[in-house]
Structure 1
Amino acid sequence: MATADERLMEWLRDAHAMEQQAETMLSSMASRIEHYPEVKRGLERHLEETRAQAAQIEACIARRGGDTSTLKDLAAKFTAFGQGLSGMFVGDEIVKGSMASYTFEHMEIAAYKVLISAAEACGDRETSAVCQRILAEEEAMARWVGDNLGDITIKYLAREETPDVTAKH
């Protein structure tokens, strides 16, 4: 049976791996987008936030006397790499990638809500504050993706029906 402090450390390591996965996914998708500049800009903006989030979580882990899990980080990056490759083989990558991003953002939101509660239960106000700031960024990104799903779909459909125009990405 783990203590609350041990569980918090485990979940912080999970969050760090999650941010590593997000970085790989965002980078992969953004690098292939050619015809949806607003999506590319949004992903690149969140990619920078994601890198900062990973560093902030790593600092929380270090402050608590731990280190990141290389195995979890590698597994997350490998999973994201596979997800990125799968997008190359579908004709509607921009739509499916947007749906995946929306889903992933909500998983991150849930993870940070758990971390905030766990940090507060452990009396770790600094980790709670860091996770609250990250949560706000993840919620903003989820809103942005959600608000743009319809426009992305309409633009994709219009491009797909236009001869000699690439719609995929």
Structure 2
Amino acid sequence: MAEDRRSLFVTGLKNAHAMENQALSIIKPQISRIENYPQVARRLEEHYRETEVQMKRLEDILASLDEDNSTLKDWMLSATGSMAAMGHSMADDEILKNSFANFAFEHFEIAAYNALLVMAEMGGFEASIAALRHNLSEEEGMAGWLSDNLREVTAEFVARREAGETAKV
């Protein structure tokens, strides 16, 4: 049973690493395209840096278990994240679609870290708990920021559209 729990935990860690890699591939193009929503760009830049550190924390946990991340999973999820970002870039309401998708993705990450914490506790991987909680806290912070700012971003989008200004990004 202990080996099953370890295997499940390692798989979850590799999935989380790939998930964070996907997050980077989603955030980076958004940052490069934002012109009219500086508050969003600033927060995305901050979260991009947080995500890089989150990946390092996951790599450290994996290394402590004599494991490493899955290059294939990282590549596949990075590619799907890039495609999702490209899809939104064609929309007239790109900033809103990105906001909705980012909000949903943050909650996906929150769920993943909550599950990893349960696996860490059940598997006796106490040394990983602080790092996983730190990652969870940062994801919750980003989700909260997105929630708190959706009204402002939406209102700014609508006002720009009504004024005939570029509202997209």
Per the TM superposition, whether the score is higher than 0.5 is: yes
- Residue 52 of structure 1 is matched in structure 2 by 53
Matched-pair contact (CA < 8 Å) for 1:117–1:128 = no
CA RMSD in angstroms comes to 1.1
Q: Which amino acid aligns with 2:30?
A: M
- Residue 74 of structure 2 is matched in structure 1 by 73
1:129 deviates by 1.3
Deviations 1:100-148 (A, max 9, x none): 0000000000000000110111111121111011101110110000000
Q: What residue ranges of structure 1 are gaps of 5+ in the alignment? A: none
1:84 deviates by 1.1
1:10 deviates by 0.2
Q: What residue ranges of structure 2 are gaps of 5+ in the alignment? A: none
For 1:151 and 1:95, locate their aligned partners in 2 and report how far apart those are by CA, in whole Å: 11
- Residue 28 of structure 1 is matched in structure 2 by 29
Q: Which amino acid aligns with 1:105?
A: E
State yes or no: 1:8 paired with 2:15: no
Structure 1 runs (4+) deviating above 2 angstroms are none
- Residue 43 of structure 1 is matched in structure 2 by 44
Identity %: 40
Q: Classify the secondary structure of the residue corresponding to 1:3.
A: helix
For 1:88 and 1:140, locate their aligned partners in 2 and report how far apart those are by CA, in whole Å: 25
Deviations 1:31-79 (A, max 9, x none): 1000000000000000000000011101111111111101100001000
Count of aligned pairs between the two proteins = 168
5 Å-filtered alignment, 1:1-169, equals 3-163=4-164, 165-169=165-169
User: What TM-score results when the alignment is normalised by the length of structure 2?
Assistant: 0.97
For 2:36 and 2:153, locate their aligned partners in 1 and report how far apart those are by CA, in whole Å: 11
User: What TM-score results when the alignment is normalised by the length of structure 1?
Assistant: 0.97
Q: Classify the secondary structure of the residue corresponding to 1:141.
A: helix
For 2:18 and 2:135, locate their aligned partners in 1 and report how far apart those are by CA, in whole Å: 15
